[in-house]
Every structure is written in C-alpha cells, then in structure tokens.
C-alpha cells in the first residue's frame, strides 16, 4: 500500500506558516504530487466548530488550560482519522499548519500544564500518526508582534483568544518550541523565518528535497 508524506509547520504567530504552506503546495503540485493542506485546530467540520470555540467564541474567556488541551486534541483526533490517515494511505502529501508540537509549546510551556501528561493525551489522540518532517519557522517575539500588527491593519478585527495573551506567554511558547526541536532534531528542523519570503521558501524546500530525492533547485513555486 502506498504511503504518503506528512509534513507539519510550527511556530508562533507571524512566522509565515500559511504563506509557506501555500508556496510549498504549489511547488509540489507542479511536480505532479497530490497535496492536501490542513490547519489545526480545524480541518474537518467538527474540528472547525472546535476551532471557533477555542479561538473566536465570545463565550470562551473562562476556558481553563485543561479544557483547552482536551479540545485541541479532540479536534486533532478527528482530523487524523477523517482526513490525514486516508490521505497518507493514498500516497498523498499532507501539509498541516500546526500539529501536536503546538500543544506542547502552547498548553505545556505557555499554559504551564505538565508536559508528560500532555504527551499521553497526544498519544491517545493521534496513535501512530506522526509527522515525517516538522518545519519550525522561528521568529523573535518582537518580530511576531510587529507582523501581527501589520497583518491586521485595514482588516476587520476578528477576535482570537490566543493572540490576547501577553508577551511573556509567547516567550514561553517560543522556549517550548526550541525545547522540542532540541529533543527531536531528526524530525524537527528549525528555520530562521526573519528573512524574505523567498529565503524562507528556499530553506523549506531544502528539507523537502531530501525526503523527495529531488534537486534542491528543482523548479520554483512561481
């Protein structure tokens, strides 16, 4: 049976994950690969409802870290079984904006929940479904803040409960991501995302090329 590739993108807000996923998907499709793009929380009808509860609902102000953890993994469990596993079994490439490393960084380091307990919850939610490669797009917190402000200029304000957190929270999250990267250097690749879109795109492709046995300069996304 064919088995595809599962690639996840991680990092704090403003790191450029959405842009880089779109660019990579375009490049892969030009190479003839079937590519599915997903996001967490979300990616399924059930997951999108959970996403709204977690991020945008006017009723979520009192949400506890424990409830947040369980909702995140409820969405994830549905996504894995409804979308990710079937796509991989067909030989497709799955690109996901966040996966379980976000939970370790945000709910573990950010919210202060026990990381060993979090790992057990994640294990239950995803089973054997693990990324083949995780790309951690890293930017300093002050750069993240600046990019978020720029992104929001001139656009309708959509409340996001996570973005309401203070700088100290996002500094803890960044520490969490770096800790995960140190623990799993074979899977998690740190990319300096402070450069231009083109520079980051090149760094992303250099890691994918190794998995695909493709030349690093093999066709651009443009």
Per-residue pLDDT tens over the stretch 6-24: 999 999 888 899 999 999 9
Work out the number of other CB atoms within 10 angstroms of the CB of residue 85: 17
**CATH number of the domain residue 47 falls in:** 3.40.50.300
In a domain, 219, yes or no: no
Contact residues for 64 (Cβ-Cβ < 8 A; gap 6+) = none
Give pTM, 2 decimals.
0.91
In a domain, 200, yes or no: yes
In a domain, 178, yes or no: yes
In a domain, 220, yes or no: no
Mean pLDDT of 147-161: 74
In a domain, 217, yes or no: no
91-135 tens-digit pLDDT: 999 999 999 999 999 999 999 999 999 999 999 999 999 999 999
User: Is pLDDT of 145 > 60?
Assistant: yes
In a domain, 64, yes or no: yes
137, 16 Cβ separation under 8 angstroms? yes
Total structural domains within the chain: 1
In a domain, 144, yes or no: yes
Range of the domain at 203: 5-212
In a domain, 169, yes or no: yes
Helices (H), 11-80: 17-30, 45-51, 65-79
């Amino acid at each position: 049976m064919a088995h595809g590739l599962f690639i996840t993108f991680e990092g704090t807000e403003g790191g450029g994950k959405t842009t880089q996923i779109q660019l990579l998907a375009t490049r892969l499709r030009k190479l003839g690969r079937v590519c599915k793009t997903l996001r967490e929380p979300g990616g399924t009808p059930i997951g999108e409802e959970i996403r709204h509860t977690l991020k945008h609902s006017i009723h979520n102000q009192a949400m506890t870290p424990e409830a947040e953890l369980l909702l995140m993994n409820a969405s994830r469990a549905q996504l894995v079984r409804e979308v990710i596993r079937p796509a991989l079994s067909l030989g497709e490439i799955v690109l996901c904006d966040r996966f379980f490393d976000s939970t370790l960084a945000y709910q573990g380091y950010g919210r202060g929940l026990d990381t060993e307990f979090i790992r057990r919850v994640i294990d239950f939610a995803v089973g054997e479904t693990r990324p083949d490669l995780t790309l951690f797009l890293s930017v300093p917190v002050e750069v993240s803040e600046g990019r978020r402000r720029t992104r929001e200029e001139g656009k309708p304000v959509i409340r996001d409960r996570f973005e309401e957190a203070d700088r100290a929270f996002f500094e803890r999250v960044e520490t969490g991501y770096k800790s995960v990267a140190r623990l799993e250097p074979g899977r998690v690749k740190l990319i300096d995302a402070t450069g231009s879109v083109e520079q980051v795109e090149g760094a992303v492709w250099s890691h994918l090329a190794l998995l695909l046995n493709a030349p690093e300069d093999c066709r651009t996304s443009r």
